[in-house]
Amino acid sequence: MSKIPLSFAMGLVFVGTSLLANDDRVIRARYIEAPIVIDGILDELAWALVEPATDFVQTNPVQGEPATERTEVRLLYDDDNLYVGVYCFDSEGEQGIVVTDVTRDYQSSENDHFALVLDTFDDDRNGFLFGTNPEGAKRDAQTVGDGTHINFDWDGIWHVKTQITEQGWQVEMAIPFKTLRFREGDDQIWGVNFVRHIRRKNEVAHWSLVTRPYRMNRVSLAGTLEGLGGIRQGRNFYLKPYISTPITRREGDDVDFMPEVGMDAKYGVTPGLTLDLTLNTDFAQVEADVQQINLTRFSLFFPEKRDFFLENSGIFEFAHTGRRFGRRDLIPFFSRRIGIEQGEIVPILGGVRFSGRAGQYTLGILSMQTDEFEVTPSTNFSVLRLRRDILRNSDIGGLFVNKKVNGGDFNRTYGTDVNLKFLTYLNISSYILKTDTTGIDSQELAGAFNARWSDLFWDIEGEYLSIEDNFNPEVGFVPRPGIRKTLGELAVKPRPGESIGWIRQFRPGVTLDYITDQNNVLQTRVLDGSFTIELQNGGEIRFGHKSTFERLEEPFAIRLPQEIPVGDYQFADFSVSFFTDRSRAFSGDAGIETGEFFDGEKDSYRLGFLLQPSYHFLAEVGWEHDDVRLPSGDFTDNLVTSRFRYSFNTTTFLNALIQYNSTLKEVSSNIRFNWIYKPLSDLFLVYNERRASTGEVVERALIAKLTYVFDF
């Protein structure tokens, strides 16, 4: 039998999957005059009169194969809503269904799940996602840049009900047109795709094939929705006032009671552009940060969690095509710099955001004013982000960020970026930035170039980044200025198929980070090799070896009084880790990393357990331990993180986050009760406490907050 060369076979796979991805499927929505009753039972006659979308195709585990369970999706609409009716048939009936979570924006990969994406501008770039699981939980998001950024912190007004039956489960959704953004016109053509997760098989299937490594938010791979005629967005205007009653007491201080009132407003200026206003902005209900142990010389990154800044945050993203591209090395606009100073909350008087699409342009304007707080003066933060679509699926844009202290200094960041996508799997991104800071007039540039190829078999990435010594984006995040960084990554992803049935994919890979100063003197070099085994049930095993060079030009005070002296250091470590199937009632993870550390040694351990006997209750405990042995002295770190959640139903939740940090010698607690009594309207009861490890209370707060949406 003749043999086919491997390169030729891989080429056939590439061409075949590309052709499959471009096989455009079409579904028509049918107009109805009487509204659908959203109860999860598809018993209205109109559902039977419309042709369903069927024949879903696997993305995982076997790309291109038919889905193992049948799914039927039907679309109806009236003057106000798009209706979605779904039959998710299951050969094992109710016994085959897996539901682990009913909180908003639940983890879809750990549940049976159905979702759709609507590319309402049919531009192959942007979309709205709406999803649910068999218990009727909501999961929604905005996606921009053809899947480059997805924002699950966007919450729209829509309705869903589900029913579990002997044949599987059913879905009914009503998505108001005023929740969406789309072009004006009587005849609408939208992009659309549907996805179904069958968790017990760890299977993901789409109506219009989405090739690995992409997901449904890759809207350029969606099918077509036709039949929508004469729809209007209607008035898109709501007011959301709030009242908050915090009671706070700090160690050695009296009890403070300072009730607050404020309001958010949203108005659809055009079908594509939205104006948001906020007055006396409050974030009392936000979950506390998950603490981290820092054994590096550089600042840790903590993500933004405040709703106002998270909504539409994708519009303000800058040059983020590659998997590792600039995500932590340089973020020119980081909203967490607004209203937080040295870990303290600074009051925000108010702000405005104007964002959306107009023709080929995506626009974002943000301006926020903070109040004077202790030694921090009142400050204005303003951002302008503009992107223009070019070619079929690429864009070029600019960014301007301004920080102006009342009666004092200023700081500005501005630059341009380009993001190009070719041949389905190739992404190229580049940018150049400059800062202006009072008293600094040189060495304020930064720039980067990144290229990444990621297909079914290969992950290949290269990057060059330069950040000059005085580059200073005060409303951004740059943990390490004054560097030139070259990065290279190579990995392959073979799948053994039926020959090793319990393994889905191997991923051996190697990454090199080579960092110099601006004079090209080597500062850091990290060669990281890994071998990852992805299991069919969703678990994972990983082995790693890392070789590191570090040059210290000043002493590194890692823990007082321990200090690592100036010098060149070459050290290496080994690691192994695993986690099990998190959709089970009981699961766990563990990891160990051991080896040299500068002029000493370090052993790190990680252990975690997850208990979720039903979707109502979850308990998760994690422990991280570092044992560092240096000539200047030894020390250990311990971090214990505990999460507890009780979901009464899909609108009422009790959450607790309790953490112990041995470095801070402190136990912190964040306990939150949340009742969503109508869409986008909440009651929060929050208890926060910081307690020294010796038992004394450092700070304690009890907060009640009520919001209510007036939807006009």
- pLDDT tens-digit map of 284-310: 777 788 888 889 998 888 888 887 888
What pLDDT, on a 0 to 100 scale, did the predictor assign at position 265? 94
Per-domain residue ranges for the chain? 20-229, 292-482
- pLDDT tens-digit map of 210-256: 999 999 999 999 999 999 998 988 778 889 999 999 998 887 777 88
Pairing mode, strands 503-516 and 483-492: antiparallel
% of the chain with per-residue pLDDT over 90: 77
Q: What is the largest CA-CA distance in the chain?
A: 87
What pLDDT, on a 0 to 100 scale, did the predictor assign at position 285? 73
pLDDT for 12 beyond 60: no
What pLDDT, on a 0 to 100 scale, did the predictor assign at position 320? 62
Q: Which of 49, 128, 136 is closest to 88 using CA atoms?
A: 136
Cα 128–217–19 angle (5° rounding)?
A: 130
Give the pLDDT band of residue 13 (cuts 50, 70, 90): very low
Q: Token pair of 564, please? A: 């690592």
- pLDDT tens-digit map of 636-668: 999 999 999 999 999 999 999 999 999 999 999
| pTM, rounded to two decimals | 0.89
Q: Which CATH number fits domain 20-229: 2.60.40.1190, 3.40.190.10, 1.10.490.10, 3.40.50.1980?
A: 2.60.40.1190
pLDDT for 76 beyond 80: yes
pLDDT for 52 beyond 90: yes
What pLDDT, on a 0 to 100 scale, did the predictor assign at position 151? 86
- pLDDT tens-digit map of 410-451: 999 999 999 999 988 999 999 999 999 999 999 999 999 999
Q: What is the mean pLDDT of residues 491-498?
A: 95
Q: Token pair of 206, please? A: 């789409």
What pLDDT, on a 0 to 100 scale, did the predictor assign at position 321? 42
Mean pLDDT score across all residues of the chain = 91
What pLDDT, on a 0 to 100 scale, did the predictor assign at position 214? 92
Give the pLDDT band of residue 2 (cuts 50, 70, 90): very low
CA 532 – CA 249 distance, rounded (Å):
48
CA 459 – CA 415 distance, rounded (Å):
29
pLDDT for 568 beyond 60: yes
Peptide bond into 271 cis (omega under 30): no
